[in-house]
């Protein structure tokens, strides 16, 4: 792995080729907010809150830090009026779903996001995908997945698998930033009733 030198917020940072801007920043103690990122999982790039400005070859772009590969001489700005606006709007859009989610409160305050800017939406899932990806990549069970697309996209437990494995696992529960996962599980539990194996009741 060859060494790479880049600039983040005016500081010179050293890392290796193949690293992401997020990893380089974290290593240097520079914080970039994330919602869908987890060190045990492949980067997902869905929440877009880690958006940063990068400059290379005379071109400035807005990219997801969790996925953008470092380059020699890259200049990164983790805060700017543009970046801050993007984060504020993303938070406002998510607060419409989960206004009380703990993961969003501190960020909302920092970026001046107004939880009432948009009408409340029915589901509190923010589609970070942590539950789905954890079950697929770490547990390799695929007990919960996404269904449908666009605004109708949702997380959904696969009843035949969930009934066998979830009760004794629930490792994804602490990952959920909004309790939408727990709600989805309670729903499927209700459907499964007494067909679940290993029910302590």
Partner 1 sequence: MTHLERIDQIIDKHQAEPSLLIQVLLDIQAENHWLPPEALDRVAERLKVPMARIRHIATFYKAFSLTPKGRHEIHICMGTACHVRGAQRVLSSVEDLLGIRPGETDLELKFTLETVNCLGCCALGPVMEIDGRTHGKITPSQTAEVLKNYE
Partner 2 sequence: MARFHSPEALESYRKGLLTDRDPNKPCIGLCTGSACQASGSLKVAERIEAELEKQGLKGRVNFRKTGCHGFCERGPMVVIQPEEIAYFQLQPEDVPEILTRTFQEKTIAEKYLYTDPQSGERLVRESEIPFYKFQQRLVFGSNGNIDPKNIDDYLALGGYSALTKALFRMTPEEVLEEVKKSHLRGRGGGGFPTGRKWEESRRAPGEIKYVIVNADEGDPGAYMDRSLLEGNPHSVLEGLIIGAYAVGAQEGFVYVRQEYPLAVENINLAIEQARAYGFLGKDILGSGFDFEVKVHRGAGAFVCGESSALMTALEGRAGEPRPKYIHTAVKGLWDRPSVLNNVETWANVPLIINNGADWFARIGTDRSKGTKIFSLVGKIAHTGLVEVPMGVTLRDIIFKIGGGIPGGKKFKAVQTGGPSGGCLPESLLDLPVGFDELTQAGSMMGSGGMIVMDEDTCMVDVARYFLDFLTDESCGKCVPCREGMRQMLKILTRITQGHGKEGDIERLEELAEVTGEASLCALGRSAPNPLLSTLRYFREEYEAHIREKRCPALSCKALIAYYIDPEKCQACQICFRKCPVMAIDGGKNRIHIIDQDKCTKCGTCFEVCPDRFKAVRKISGQPLPPPLPEEARVIVRGAGKKAQTIE
Residues that bind partner 1 (CB under 8 A): 132, 136, 142-149, 156, 158, 160-161
Minimum CB separation of residue 24 from partner 1 in Å reads 33
Neighbour-count burial for 119-129, b at 16+ CB within 10 Å, e otherwise: eeeebbbbbbb
* 170: CB partners within 8 A, 6+ apart: 185
Q: Nearer to partner 1 by C-beta: 88 or 127?
A: 127
Q: Which stretch binds partner 2 (CB under 8 A): 99-107, 115-123, 172-180, 185-193?
A: 115-123
Cβ neighbours of residue 198 closer than 8 Å, sequence gap 6 or more: 167, 168
Does 19 engage in binding with partner 2 (CB under 8 A)? no
Which of 11, 14, 40, 82 touches partner 2 (CB under 8 A)? 82
Alpha carbons 51 and 32: distance in angstroms, whole number: 9
**Does 118 interact with partner 2 (rule: CB under 8 A)?**
yes
Instruction: Give 128 or 163: the residue with its C-beta nearer to partner 2.
Output: 128
Tell me 178's DSSP state.
S
Please choose which of partner 1, partner 2, none residue 96 contacts, taking the beta carbon within 5 to 8 angstroms, the exact cut-off set by kind.
partner 2
Which of 3, 31, 39, 148 lies at the binding interface for partner 2 (CB under 8 A)? Answer: 148
User: Cα separations (Å) of 38 from 72, 129, 137, 138, 143?
Assistant: 26, 10, 12, 11, 19
Which of 48, 77, 79, 139 contacts partner 2 by CB under 8 A?
Answer: 48
H helices of 76-147, in order, are: 81-95, 102-111, 130-133
DSSP label at 69? B
CB of 154 to partner 1, least distance (A): 9
Q: Which is nearer to partner 1, 84 or 160 (CB)?
A: 160
Residue 63 contacts partner 2 per CB under 8 A: yes
Q: Decide: is 68 part of the binding site for partner 2 (CB under 8 A).
A: yes
Name the residue among 82, 79, 80, 121 with its Cα closest to residue 101. 121
Shortest Cβ 46–partner 2 spacing (Å): 5
Given candidates 34, 51, 78, 163, which one binds partner 2 under the rule CB under 8 A?
51
Smallest Cα–Cα separation from 76: which of 98, 112, 100, 50?
50
């Amino acid at each position: 792995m060859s060494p790479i030198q880049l600039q983040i917020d005016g500081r010179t940072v050293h890392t290796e080729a193949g690293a992401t801007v997020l990893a380089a920043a974290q290593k240097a103690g520079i914080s970039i907010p994330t919602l869908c990122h987890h060190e045990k999982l492949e980067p997902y790039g869905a929440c877009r809150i880690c958006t940063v400005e990068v400059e290379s070859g005379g071109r400035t772009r807005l990219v997801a830090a969790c996925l953008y590969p470092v380059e020699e001489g890259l200049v990164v700005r983790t805060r700017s009026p543009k970046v801050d606006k993007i984060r504020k709007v993303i938070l406002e859009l998510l607060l419409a779903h989960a206004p009380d989610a703990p993961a969003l409160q501190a960020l909302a305050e920092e970026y001046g996001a107004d939880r009432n800017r948009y009408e409340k939406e029915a589901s509190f899932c923010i589609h970070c995908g942590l539950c789905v990806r954890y079950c697929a990549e770490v547990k390799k069970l695929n007990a919960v997945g996404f269904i449908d697309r666009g605004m109708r996209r949702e997380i959904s437990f696969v009843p035949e698998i969930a009934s066998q494995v979830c009760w004794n696992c629930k490792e994804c529960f602490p990952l959920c930033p909004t309790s939408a996962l727990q709600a989805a599980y309670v729903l499927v539990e209700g459907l499964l009733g007494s067909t679940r194996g290993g029910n302590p009741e």
